[in-house]
Amino acid sequence: MSTGLHIDWESLAASLRAALSVESGLRREEPLATRTTLRVGGAARILAEPASEADLASVLQRTTAAGVPVIMLGRGSNLLVPDSGVDAVVISLGHPAWQRFVPEADGRVRVGAGLRLKNLCGLASKAGLVGFEFLEGIPGNVGGALRMNAGAMGGWMFDVVEEVRVMSRDGAVRTYRKAEMKVDYRHCAELETAIALEAVLRPARVAPGGDEAIRRQIDAYRDKRHQSQPREPSAGCMFKNPPGDSAGRLIDAAGLKGERVGGAEVSTVHANFIINRGGATSADVIALVRRVRERVQGVSGVTLEPEVLLYGGDWRKEL
């Protein structure tokens, strides 16, 4: 996706490198396909991996001053990266400094935005913290799950959130209590611009020594996923469920299971997953998304809206 602006990426990269500590990473033309679960798309003009809040603030301030877009990257499990890549500074909180898991005496736990949900589940289970099991199998990190208000098995991320510490694009840090945030289905308005740094989560209850029961619940959820979701690369559910219905049911009813454009295919296991059969391009996926929407609209009169984000772009221009 092009900004249409002329940006001197080499100079910007040099100025960012000069401002960052040696622990932080900075790369030019970093391929993003391998950093996403769908495994399609081009490169980030610049990828920054700050190792501290001070370095993150430096990247944001310099990039904003240069008028260059900044986009966060979590574990890339809800993204479709355009084939042309993204004309932006992509920021990943992949450094271990962002993966904190710090239980407090009352059972609440402070977690870094870069902590994988899988690790959050495992650590919470060991600490006897009940109530995070539904996150098992969502292949994102805490930051991505907050931004998307990720949900499964009847729970939503914000069910367990008490507060979120964020950095705005000018580098200023503040803390939001949950009640101050506008959160709904797969969306958190504040995190469209602000960057989640860490969150305080509250378990449903603390069960010292309850590790085994928690593990059993996690295993049950994992089995359910294995039976109902494809194994091939995907970005999870492609479309949001329309009110009172399921996108997968509508796509199946339109006879679209197995429908294919290039290397992209509507999964035969779960119709709301578009899988990469190997060698799919972003253009294949977009063409298939268009076809699915048109057919479902024709058969059931429902217009499906993508849940997967078009990274650095706008679906409205593509559909």
Ligand X SMILES: Cc1cc2nc3c(=O)[nH]c(=O)nc-3n(C[C@H](O)[C@H](O)[C@H](O)COP(=O)(O)OP(=O)(O)OC[C@H]3O[C@@H](n4cnc5c(N)ncnc54)[C@H](O)[C@@H]3O)c2cc1C
Interacting residues toward ligand X by CB under 6 A:
37, 71-79, 93, 113, 138-141, 143-145, 147-148, 150-152, 191, 195-196, 229, 234-236, 309
- In the complex, minimum distance from the CB of residue 185 to ligand X, in angstroms, rounded to a whole number: 9
- In the complex, minimum distance from the CB of residue 297 to ligand X, in angstroms, rounded to a whole number: 24
Which C-beta is closer to ligand X: that of 71 or that of 299? Answer: 71
Answer whether 81's CB lies under 8 Å from 33's CB: yes
- In the complex, minimum distance from the CB of residue 78 to ligand X, in angstroms, rounded to a whole number: 3
Which C-beta is closer to ligand X: that of 73 or that of 109? Answer: 73
How big, in percent rounded to 5, are the helix, strand and coil portions of the chain? 35, 25, 40
Pull the structure tokens for residue 159.
């069910």
Return d(Cα 176, Cα 199) in angstroms, integer. Answer: 9
DSSP letters along 51-85, please?
SSHHHHHHHHHHHHHTT--EEEESSSSSEE--TT-
- In the complex, minimum distance from the CB of residue 102 to ligand X, in angstroms, rounded to a whole number: 17
Pull the structure tokens for residue 80.
């479709």
Which C-beta is closer to ligand X: that of 107 or that of 164? Answer: 164
Which C-beta is closer to ligand X: that of 148 or that of 160? Answer: 148
Which C-beta is closer to ligand X: that of 32 or that of 127? Answer: 32
Closest alpha carbon to 218 in 133, 96, 110, 316: 133
- In the complex, minimum distance from the CB of residue 206 to ligand X, in angstroms, rounded to a whole number: 25
Burial class (CB in 10 A: 0-12, 13-18, 19+), 231: exposed
- In the complex, minimum distance from the CB of residue 60 to ligand X, in angstroms, rounded to a whole number: 12
| Residue 30: count of CB within 10 angstroms of its CB | 20
Return d(Cα 153, Cα 244) in angstroms, integer. Answer: 16
Return d(Cα 44, Cα 173) in angstroms, integer. Answer: 26
Which C-beta is closer to ligand X: that of 128 or that of 140? Answer: 140
